[in-house]
Structure 1
């Protein structure tokens, strides 16, 4: 019988492998969508989205382009100041914020 530690190591290895496969599949899906959008002349606004996602900073009232999207759809422009909770949680878990770049 396997020990708890061995099972946890196996689970972490499988999660890392699953994440790698997800990224590969996601890249293929995005490439396919972009190709179809180009072929049919579809824009982001045709799909009901904004041409560029922007967020207004509450202090400066300056629109900032969203650079990161969290696992639950949260967004962050990556500016100065305190990082959102979801970003801090991702970094604390040892993940790379660049994996969430839009």
Structure 2
């Protein structure tokens, strides 16, 4: 039967071998990734999930240009969401939405 000290030495040796194997496999994986990136012309930006040129990303939270203006007050509305009270009042008064188009 092995002694406690012998088992600790074996454990340390095994941990060293595990770390060396991990480093070698990591280096091999990085080399393979670099080769594939070169072969296909992939950049780090491509891997980071940047959108392709000419395509916009998420538009959530971005400003939208107004489409309608109240000529009396200058208030504007993008045409999205609930209609402002001035639009509701004007539509109820017989006007059309196209009357307020910018």
Fold shared per TM-score above 0.5: no
- Larger strand proportion, structure 1 or 2? 1
Structure with more relative contact order (C-alpha pairs < 8 Å, separation 6 or more): 2
Larger radius of gyration: 2
Q: TM-score, normalised by structure 2?
A: 0.45
